[in-house]
Chain A
Amino acid sequence: MELLPFFEWAETTFLGYIGKTYGGVYATFGQSLHLMALAVLGGSVLVADLRLLNVIMKDVPSEIVTEQAHKWFRIALVMIISTGIFMAAAVAQRMYHNDFFWAKMSALLVGIIFVFAIKRPLLKGSHADLNPIVIKMVASASILVWFSVAATGRWIGFSG
């Protein structure tokens, strides 16, 4: 499926026009909110996964930590996707030809599927009933996949 026409169209939309024409709007509503959301998402991922790895907050049950962190994760994810669409619309054709954009989108897709289809259903019940090695594997994979989203995302700005 050829996606280039979609990216060309995205640049001609109202979002693409605003982002391209008004640098201030792009920087404040796009980049700064996107980075703040990334910080919240990264924070929630690290708190939950480092707790699952038994590194931090050992005195608080991991069920409570992961449940609380997931609420912020969801809010940050919605913010990241909405500001990300706005930012990408302004430079859509450049994004289409950027390898790191596709690496980030792949990592994001894997991360979302992993969290909502695998990690959440697994950690819903009591963590004491689960195999500790599996919990640690899930936490490590989660850190790695969201690190990849963040790192490839920042790399977009320094490539192509």
Chain B
Amino acid sequence: MTVKKELGIQEKIAAVAAGAIIISALMYWGYQFVGMLEFLEMAYE
């Protein structure tokens, strides 16, 4: 029998904060990466 463990309040807060940081960081660096690609494309032309 498997016992499904519920997340504690501290774990929930940590999960939300970590998720927000991961999404924000990926969006920020994705945006910078797209900018870099556009720059390289312009420089190549």
Binding site for B on A (CB under 8 A): 103, 110, 114, 118-119, 121-122, 130-131, 133-134, 137-138, 140-141, 144-145, 147-148, 151
Residue B19 lies at the interface, judged by CB distance under 8 Å to chain A: yes
Residue B17 lies at the interface, judged by CB distance under 8 Å to chain A: yes
Q: Shortest Cβ distance from A81 into chain B, in angstroms?
A: 20
Task: Report whether B17 and A141 are in contact in the complex, using a CB–CB cutoff of 8 Å.
Answer: yes
Listed A/B pairs (23) with beta-carbon separation below 8 Å: A103-B28, A114-B21, A118-B17, A118-B18, A122-B10, A122-B11, A122-B14, A130-B11, A131-B5, A134-B11, A134-B18, A137-B15, A137-B22, A138-B18, A141-B18, A141-B19, A141-B25, A144-B21, A144-B25, A148-B25, A148-B28, A148-B29, A151-B29
Binding site for A on B (CB under 8 A): 5, 7, 10-11, 13-15, 17-19, 21-22, 25-26, 28-29
Q: Is the interface of B mostly helix, strand, loop or mixed?
A: helix
Task: Report whether A141 and B21 are in contact in the complex, using a CB–CB cutoff of 8 Å.
Answer: yes
User: Which residues of B have CB within 8 Å of A137?
Assistant: 14-15, 18-19, 22
* Cα(A122)–Cα(B13), bound, Å: 10
* Cα(A119)–Cα(B18), bound, Å: 9
User: Which residues of B have CB within 8 Å of A140?
Assistant: 18, 22
User: Which residues of B have CB within 8 Å of A130?
Assistant: 11
* Cα(A133)–Cα(B21), bound, Å: 15
